[in-house]
Amino acid sequence: MPKTVFKITYSDAKSLMNAAVESANKHKVPGAIAIVDKGGNPILLESLENTMSGASKIAIGKAATAVAFMRPSIDIEKVILEGRTPMLVLDGAISDAYVPLKGGYPIWYQDELIGGIAVAGTMDAEMDEIVVLEALENKEW
C-alpha cells in the first residue's frame, strides 16, 4: 500500500505567513518571517517595515535549523549554551546555513514534518518566539 506523504502547500504557507504578520503587527514589531519546506528550501519570505537587512537570512536559517533537527531552534541554542560548543561548526559542515537561535519551529501535519517557520529581527529574541508561536497557534489546517 502506498504511503501518503504530506507537503506544505503555498496556500498553507500563505495562511501561516498571514498569521505571523498579524501577530507582528499586533505587537508593533518589525521582523522577517520565513517559511521553508521539509528540505529547508524557502517557500515564503516577508520582511516587514523597519526590519534590519540581515533578518531575512537569519529567519531562513532558523527555519532550516528547525527542520533539519526536527525541533525548535531554541533547543539547539540551549544545547550550545549548556556547553556543547562543537555544535557551532555544523554550519560549516554542510551547505545549509544553520542558525541555532530561538525563533524557529518545525511545522507538523498529522505527525509528519512538512516544513519550518521562523521569525528574526523583531529586536528581541523573546518577541521572535512570541510571533512564531502565535502564528502556529492560529494556523488554519
In angstroms, the CA 140 to CA 83 distance is 38
The secondary element (H helix, E strand) that includes residue 25 is helix 10-26
The CATH architecture one would assign to domain 10-136 is 2-Layer Sandwich (3.30)
Q: What per-residue confidence (pLDDT) applies to 13?
A: 97
pLDDT at 92 over 70: no
Question: For residue 64, what is the enclosing H or E element?
Answer: helix 55-69
Q: Quickly list DSSP for 100-122.
A: -SSSEEEEEETTEEEEEEEEE-S
Per-residue pLDDT at 91 exceeds 70: no
Name the percent of the chain lying above pLDDT 70: 94
pLDDT at 23 over 80: yes
Residue 77, CA distances (Å) to 15, 24, 26, 65, 132 in order:
28, 23, 27, 10, 16
